Amino acid sequence: MSHDASRPLHPDTQVIHAGQHPEPVTGAVMPPIFTSSTYAQRSPGEHTGFEYSRSHNPTRYALERMVAKLEGSTIDEKDDPSCGGFAFASGLAAMDCVCQLLSAGDHVVCMDDVYGGSNRQLQRVKARSQGLNNTFVDMTDPARFAAAMTPKTALVWVETPTNPTLKLIDLAAIAKIAKAKNANCLLACDNTFATPLNQRPLDHGFDIAHHSGTKYLSGHSDAVNGLLVTGDLELARKIRFHQNAIGAVLGPFDSYLVLRGIKTLALRMARHGESALKIAQWLEQHQGVERVVYPGLPSHPQHALAKKQMAPSYGAGLRPAGPGNFGGMITFYIEGGLDEARRFLESVQLFTLAESLGGVESLIEHPAIMTHASVPPDMRRDLGISDTLIRLSVGIEHVDDLIADLERGFKAAHGGMTTASASPARVRGNAANPPSLSNIRPAHQTSTPAIPPILSL
């Protein structure tokens, strides 16, 4: 895409054009799906820049450049063919590539509340296979992070908002502390929940933005994929080497699908955020709810940080369109216990009971039994991933239909308890007097759900 660089483009425009140019032979506006695994050479070692598709694929490059530009990488295509963006077979494969940049025995500091599979990769795989020495710490408190970080810490891994309890990490504060202790330490932020339209980790001093692109980037629950972005050319070269050397690259068909999904990312995120805010406000007034956690609510203990950090500028103050800047994920604790949670989850109809998130369709799940079953039970207990915790991924259906569906769930869970009450069942804090972070955790806890076999390997 060539345009007048002195006039930055709105993010809504970037999701269509960033890093894209018509295909040189035919002028095709969307990049063709280049399926060829290999490319003809004129003479041994003399090729067009494309040798073998694990190393170079034009369809994958188009996706990688798009995400790199959205995340704010300034690497030029002349210096790196994908501008510092890298696509992998899954979000966990992308995380694996970051870990492979480390050496055996290195120290990692990880946010204690992360996706269960990320926790599992560090604790059950990397600790054994690479001897990585992991410290999990609650980084919502920068002082605790400072105490966990050592001059030998080689990687800091965070998610914000966290999965599933939607805590926020102050990225700029963490970056400042980390780089002061060890300037060479890599800082990686899993930006899956926020997306680059709502938050850009590189702008806050992080080295790598990570995505499970399976979620909002693809947006249609039809392509498992992961992405890394860096704005540092030297680091980009290292990641490129490892992406090729390890080989868990994204195939051309899926690259095409994800790129196609991103074209509507701005429209989708505006709708996800707008509907999620309405639903969170409705839940907060509902008698069947013990507590709602949503960064866009004044009652969220870090609402002020959410307003500051989840508001990226794309240059000259350009911001994504629409009011929804806090994403489509809501967590709430239902009144009662596991039985009420089960009845609720079994009776909603528009919200599909399924793992994953970020698609156009609304999803609902029970983290303790589903996505976070691989987190050790005592850690789940400490994090507040209890039997009554329910996670919503709010889709782009009409919000009134979604609210009616949730009401159906409450009726099934609690019998007579019906519509939103004029006076909420609990005082949950307000802008002037937000509850503390520990209030995110409900008082009662939790039986230990059985771990499904695939996760207990």
The DSSP letter of residue 359 is S
| Least distance from ligand PLP to the Cβ atom of residue 92, Å | 4
d(CA 217, CA 115) in angstroms, rounded, equals: 17
> What are the backbone dihedrals phi and psi of residue 291, each rounded to the nearest 5 degrees, phi first?
-160, 145
Q: Counting contacts by CB under 6 A, is residue 340 touching ligand PLP?
A: no
Q: Counting contacts by CB under 6 A, is residue 214 touching ligand PLP?
A: yes
Q: How many CB atoms lie within 10 A of CB 416?
A: 5
Q: Counting contacts by CB under 6 A, is residue 192 touching ligand PLP?
A: yes
| Least distance from ligand PLP to the Cβ atom of residue 159, Å | 6
Is 422 exposed, middle or buried (CB count within 10 Å of its CB: 0-12, 13-18, 19+)? exposed
Identified binder of ligand PLP from the candidate list 20, 118, 123, 221, rule CB under 6 A: 118
SS3 at position 294? coil
Contact 140, 169 (CB under 8 A): yes
Q: Counting contacts by CB under 6 A, is residue 31 touching ligand PLP?
A: no
Site stretch for ligand PLP (CB under 6 A), options 79-87, 112-120, 196-204, 309-317 = 112-120
Q: Counting contacts by CB under 6 A, is residue 374 touching ligand PLP?
A: no
Contacts of 44 (CB under 8 A, 6+ apart): none
Catalytic pick from 12, 80, 112, 190? 190
| Opening angle at CA 149, ends 313 and 92, nearest 5 | 65
Decide whether 90 or 135 has the Cβ nearer to ligand PLP.
Answer: 90
Site stretch for ligand PLP (CB under 6 A), options 59-67, 188-196, 272-280, 372-380 = 188-196
| 378 carries an active-site annotation | no
Q: Counting contacts by CB under 6 A, is residue 91 touching ligand PLP?
A: yes
Contacts of 250 (CB under 8 A, 6+ apart): 60, 63, 87, 88, 89, 225, 226, 258
CA distance to 81, 287, 332, 347, 397, per residue, from 405 (Å): 47, 16, 16, 9, 11
Q: Counting contacts by CB under 6 A, is residue 119 touching ligand PLP?
A: no
Q: Counting contacts by CB under 6 A, is residue 117 touching ligand PLP?
A: yes
Catalytic pick from 65, 106, 112, 115? 115
Identified binder of ligand PLP from the candidate list 13, 90, 352, 419, rule CB under 6 A: 90
Question: Which residues in the 163-182 window bind ligand PLP by CB under 6 A?
Answer: 163
| 115 carries an active-site annotation | yes
| 181 carries an active-site annotation | no
d(CA 66, CA 246) in angstroms, rounded, equals: 23
Q: Which residue is nearest to ligand PLP (CB)?
A: 91
Q: Counting contacts by CB under 6 A, is residue 199 touching ligand PLP?
A: no
Catalytic residues: 54, 115, 190, 215
